[in-house]
Amino acid sequence: MCGLLTFVSAHGRASTCQDGVAEALESIHHRGPDETGVNVVDDDVVFGFKRLSIIDVEHSHQPLAYPPTGPEANRYVITFNGEIYNYLELREELIREHGAEFATTGDTEVIVAAYHHWGPAAVSRLRGMFAFVIWDRAARRAFGARDPFGIKPFFHLATSEGIYFASEKKSLLPFAEAASAGDAGVDAANLSHYLTLQYVPEPGSLHKGIGRIGSGESFVYAPGEKLTTHRYYQPTFRPTPTSSPQALYDRIRETLRESVRVHMRSDVPVGAFLSSGIDSTAVVALAREFNPNILTFTVGTDVNGYSEIDVAQDSARHLGVTTIPTLMGPQDMMDALPKIIWHLDDPVADPALVPLYFVAKKAAEHVTVVLSGEGADEFFGGYTIYREPLSLAAINGLPDPLQKGLRAVSKVIPEGVKGKSFLERGTTPIEERYYGNARMFTEEEKARLMRRYDGSVRYTDVTAPIYAEAAAMGLDEVTTMQYVDLYTWLRGDILVKADRMSMAHSLELRVPFLDKEVFDVAATVPVDLKLPPKTNETKYAMRRALEGVVPPAIVNRKKLGFPTPTRVWLRGEMYEWAREIFLRSGADHLLDLKYAVQLLDDHQQGKADNSRKVWTVLVFCIWHAIFVERSLDPGITRNQSALLTKPAIGSVVG
């Protein structure tokens, strides 16, 4: 796990940017405090790299050149963030079929060797999480890619001088500001999307001009030309009825077991997060088969109903592993939030990222790598809202005129009356009613909150292309919702908080569920085995597959996911703090913060539960103070790292 910052010059003047890249690279020191490398290659490219040593610790320094010998020696140079879990198998295949040479025993060299021998098709053979840039010195062309599900972040910025690629957006901001004469600007459309979704959707960001390489995308860039991308992987659900459910359950279990096994490949200690749900418990249960002494980590609060520590400890005892708990309180949350938001790059208003930050901090005291359970819900149908198409089927099946009549009836039913929401949602097409797990401000509320509200910017701008792809695949509504979440909620919220909160502490987080082999079996699960109509269970097939693997009490337990009592604390300990942020914020030209104060006051007085809306605006105000106003110092310095930094690596090529 590492951090990269690469600049490809459009004019063959890369050396003029070397100092700037070296300075900007320090903003992502936390991603790789073990080694630093900043190198210029043929005055075409500056490679900046921060390494967190996981595999082949003594070697595999980056930037890395390949091949090591021969007439084409050092033709390719790579920087790579992530892990390739099938690198040993690919290495053996490259040696056997192509006589490939290797100077290291790590996975970085396997990527560039695969590209040398297989070309761009090599990326489809990689099993893992990754973002990388390869420079071909002979062809004067850059090639790179991001992993199939977007586990690893990958930002880019095009300027008149060339193009930058980075693991985190903050390292691109100096170049974005220089290119825009000091005003990178807040992207108004993405601010609107954030207020709806609680995150900034891909491929854009909240800073104008900075975008992201999509999940499952590769790219090519030649100096002076435009960046071109190619979608090399598209997850395709194919629900398939089965006459033998048990055979499917067995396949799920064994595929997940194999994924956990390869995800544990490491030359440094590996631990795991453990909550009260089945996802993380399954990962721990399977991991301890390969390491009975694996350490696990959990987090909670002292607020009743908002802690998973007791259940996690029971699971740990049942599995015979050690779990190390950590407690967080409201003051911890207030103190850490500026650092958390700085690490996020763009605001994410998911309160669950705060306990994730603290559990990662605790884990980093003991291990360098942790396993976690992200992705199980999107793959296997784990969210309760996925049951909605089943509950609305009776209305959806009615003739259009009758649906229109029921829609008209719903509009005259007073707010809060039972049945109003059911009629509204049942007569609304799925493309308009579902846009992910988070629903913050309605369009009417945004019109009141935003100073420059633009009604033409809608969440359907984000979701419409995804729905079109799902329709082309012929997916049912439940599976369509899963597909939408793969490209919205998973990438925009779940994986952002997982990557940033772990890397904030120089901790590598691995997600065995988010594996191509696991998806291949999850994609075949029929709807009736994901969400049986006669039960309220979710992830039914996965739960049946893990019976006998996880403790019986966990098999059917409802997911909590490191819950955070913001609802409680915003009425008490955090009320004055939040109010002061609104009153002092310099973001009032973008948002009506008097309205935000009213939402907070109504929440504090018990008139409404506005905690999620208040939190969404709070996170943005702190983000704005850090990244736009520059009035808030989050207190992040390179000297805070507990690890020593080795000297910069010398020139990769002559």
Residues 553, 559, 560, 562, CA torsion sign: positive
Burial status of residue 647 (CB atoms within 10 A of its CB: 0-12, 13-18, 19 or more): exposed
Q: What is the CATH number of the domain that holds 81?
A: 3.60.20.10
pLDDT tens-digit map of 96-106: 999 999 999 99
> Which three-class secondary structure state does DSSP give residue 438?
coil
**Token reading at 210:** 């900075």
Pairing, β 270-273 against β 295-300: parallel
Share of the chain above pLDDT 70, in %: 94
Pairwise CA distance, residues 227 & 210, whole Å: 13
Nearest to 576 by CA among 383, 281, 237, 330: 330
173 shares its domain with 45? yes
283 shares its domain with 353? yes
Of the residues 206, 231, 256, which one is the last residue of a structural domain?
A: 231
112 shares its domain with 23? yes
Domain membership flag for residue 645: no
Contact 231, 469 (CB under 8 A): no
Pairwise CA distance, residues 618 & 243, whole Å: 51
Mean pLDDT to the nearest integer, 40-44: 96
pLDDT tens-digit map of 283-320: 999 999 999 999 999 999 989 888 889 889 999 999 99
447 shares its domain with 435? yes
pLDDT tens-digit map of 550-576: 988 887 776 665 679 999 999 999 999
Domain enclosing residue 252, as ranges:
245-382+487-555
514 shares its domain with 536? yes
340 shares its domain with 412? no
Of the residues 231, 262, 280, which one is the last residue of a structural domain?
A: 231
225 shares its domain with 259? no
370 shares its domain with 506? yes
**Position 200 pLDDT exceeds 90:** yes
Domain membership flag for residue 647: no
**Position 83 pLDDT exceeds 60:** yes
195 shares its domain with 86? yes
Domain membership flag for residue 475: yes
Mean pLDDT to the nearest integer, 47-60: 76
431 shares its domain with 290? no
Sheet bearing 35-41, strands edge to edge = 35-41, 45-51, 2-9, 162-166, 155-159, 210-212
Lowest pLDDT segment from 312-316, 598-602, 612-616: 312-316
Domain membership flag for residue 238: no
476 shares its domain with 583? no
Domain membership flag for residue 652: no
17 shares its domain with 123? yes
**Position 539 pLDDT exceeds 90:** yes
What is the reported pLDDT for 529? Answer: 97
Confidence label for 647 from pLDDT (cuts 50, 70 and 90): very low
Domain membership flag for residue 170: yes
Domain membership flag for residue 649: no
Confidence label for 149 from pLDDT (cuts 50, 70 and 90): very high
Of the residues 231, 258, 280, which one is the last residue of a structural domain?
A: 231
Contact 353, 497 (CB under 8 A): yes
Share of the chain above pLDDT 90, in %: 79
Active site residue 2: yes
What is the reported pLDDT for 183? Answer: 57
Residues 6+ positions from 474 with CB-CB distance below 8 Å? none
How far is the CA of 650 from the CAs of 1, 22, 40, 398, in angstroms?
A: 21, 14, 10, 70
Average pLDDT, the chain: 91
Residues 6+ positions from 562 with CB-CB distance below 8 Å? 275, 299, 308, 352, 355, 356, 359
Domain membership flag for residue 650: no
What domain count does the chain have?
Answer: 4
| Residue tagged active-site, from 2, 17, 484, 596 | 2
Mean pLDDT to the nearest integer, 118-134: 98
